[in-house]
């Protein structure tokens, strides 16, 4: 793959602009004929999309199959929820007062995610392949069981956020306001990561997934680059967790279980891995499939699981080759070759 073709792949082009324009119009459409539920469903899809955009930065471009991104998501969501909880109770946490102001708790959440990502990344990035996957899975469950054990924050039942979260006084009055906030944040990070992927830093990350020895030979230490990428990736997913806390006003350990991590991997794969905005498509497919399948049958996970197995068995090249295969089908037109 040459550099210019890579640039073509990652720079936002007309399909992604079209998707964003359509998404921006969705609340208008739901006002006439749709429902608030549509907006909440789309909000959910966009938040999962952002979480998977974060994951895809290391999965799609760095080749790192992380099964611990739900834990970054959880760090983001729980930080906001816990600070709001202490604000509601009027007590302190390690001597500091709680807050419902997202201008404080948001950055705090991202900071904690950065610390957590550096600490865990420094450990897991020393390992490769199967080891890496198992270690990330184990670390994800470490945080999961830790949150279950913390009874003061709801334990297994999770915790409700009672005070309205606000941006220094501005409250999200409606579902649409939250929706647009999520959409703007998502667009911002898609743009930011697209620039980053095309940068010299991005080149090193992509190269590290292909041949680490060669990188080392030309004097670049892949480990440090991968650690920075892993940290950025975790922080972006944590931002999605913050948005999750805002939109759901509720967090629970289920939000950071390893199943959620695997869901994010599925979303990134559905999105084709090679585009920064790919997970947006993946998340829309995922959430809509979940919604419609669960409407048809209570055993929707069976259908979904079979779907995943069928795709992996039938299309060895991943979802990308599904698109390629579909494009190759002649759609009934006469073949003149």
Partner 1 sequence: MTTGLFVEQSLNGLQLGVMLFLVTAGLTLVFGIMDFINLAHGSLFMFGAFLAATFVKITGIFWLALILAVLATGLIGFVMEFLVLRRFYHRSHLDQVLLTFGFILVFNDITRIIWGSIPLPMPLPEILSMPVQIMPGVMYPSFRIAILVLGLIVALCLFLIIERTRLGMWIRAGASDRQMTSALGVNVGLVFTLVFAAGAALAALAGIMSGPISAVQIGMGEPILILALVVTVIGGIGSVKGALIAAIMIGMVDTFGRVMFPPAISSILIYLLMVLILAFRPRGLFPANV
Binding site for partner 1 (CB under 8 A): 59, 65, 67, 123, 126-127, 129-131, 133-135, 137-139, 141-142, 145-146, 148-151, 258-259, 262, 265-266, 269, 299, 301-302, 304-309, 311-313, 316, 318
Looking at the Cβ atoms of 53 and 246, the one nearer to partner 1 is 53
In the complex, the smallest distance separating the C-beta of residue 49 from partner 1, rounded to whole angstroms, is: 19
Could you give the CA distance from residue 54 to residue 290 in angstroms, rounded to a whole number? Answer: 22
Between 131 and 323, whose beta carbon lies closer to partner 1? 131
Dihedral of alpha carbons 197, 319, 130, 51, sign: positive
Which of 27, 278 has the CB closer to partner 1?
A: 278
92 phi and psi angles, rounded to 5 deg: -120, 160
Comparing CB distances to partner 1, the nearer of 133 and 242 is 133
- Name the helix (H) or strand (E) containing 92: strand 92-93
Min CB(184)–partner 1 separation in Å: 31
DSSP 101: B
Q: Which residues pair with 251 in a beta bridge?
A: 159
Q: How far is the CB of 299 from partner 1 (least distance, A)?
A: 5
Task: Output the smallest distance, CB 310 to partner 1, in A.
Answer: 8
**Separation between Cα atoms, residue 232 and residue 223, nearest integer Å:** 14
CB of 160 to partner 1, least distance (A): 21
CB of residue 324 to partner 1, shortest distance in Å: 16
Q: Which is nearer to partner 1, 3 or 119 (CB)?
A: 119
Between the alpha carbon of residue 127 and those of residues 64, 135, 215, 252, the distances in Å are 11, 8, 17, 30
Nearer Cβ to partner 1 (147/197): 147
The span from the CA of 26 to the CA of 41, in Å, is 11
């Amino acid at each position: 793959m040459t550099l210019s073709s890579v640039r073509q792949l990652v720079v936002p082009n007309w399909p992604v602009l079209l998707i964003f324009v359509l998404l921006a119009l969705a609340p208008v459409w739901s006002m006439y004929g749709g429902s608030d539920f549509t907006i909440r469903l789309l909000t959910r899809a966009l938040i999962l999309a952002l979480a998977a955009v974060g994951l895809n930065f290391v999965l799609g471009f760095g080749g790192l199959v992380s099964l611990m991104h739900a834990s970054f998501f959880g760090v983001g969501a729980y930080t906001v929820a816990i600070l709001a909880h202490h604000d509601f109770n009027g007590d302190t946490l390690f001597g500091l007062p709680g807050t419902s102001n997202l201008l404080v708790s948001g950055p705090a959440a991202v900071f904690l995610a950065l610390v957590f990502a550096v600490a865990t990344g420094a450990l897991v990035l020393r390992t490769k392949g199967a080891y890496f996957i198992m270690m990330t899975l184990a670390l994800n469950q470490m945080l999961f069981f830790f949150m279950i054990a913390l009874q003061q924050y709801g334990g297994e039942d999770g915790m409700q956020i009672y005070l309205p979260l606000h941006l220094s006084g501005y409250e999200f009055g409606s579902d649409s306001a939250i929706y647009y906030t999520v959409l703007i944040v998502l667009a911002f990070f898609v743009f930011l990561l697209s620039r980053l992927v095309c940068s010299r830093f991005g080149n090193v990350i992509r190269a590290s997934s292909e041949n680490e020895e060669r990188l080392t030979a030309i004097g670049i230490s892949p480990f440090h680059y991968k650690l920075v990428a892993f940290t950025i990736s975790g922080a972006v997913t944590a931002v999605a967790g913050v948005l999750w806390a805002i939109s759901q006003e509720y967090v629970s350990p289920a939000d950071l279980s390893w199943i959620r991590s695997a869901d994010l991997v599925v979303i990134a794969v559905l999105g084709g891995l090679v585009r920064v905005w790919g997970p947006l498509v993946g998340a829309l497919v995922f959430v809509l499939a979940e919604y419609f399948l669960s409407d048809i049958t209570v055993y929707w996970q069976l259908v979904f699981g079979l779907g995943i197995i069928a795709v992996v068995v039938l299309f060895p090249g991943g979802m990308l080759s599904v698109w390629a295969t579909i494009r190759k089908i002649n759609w009934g037109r006469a073949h003149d070759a």
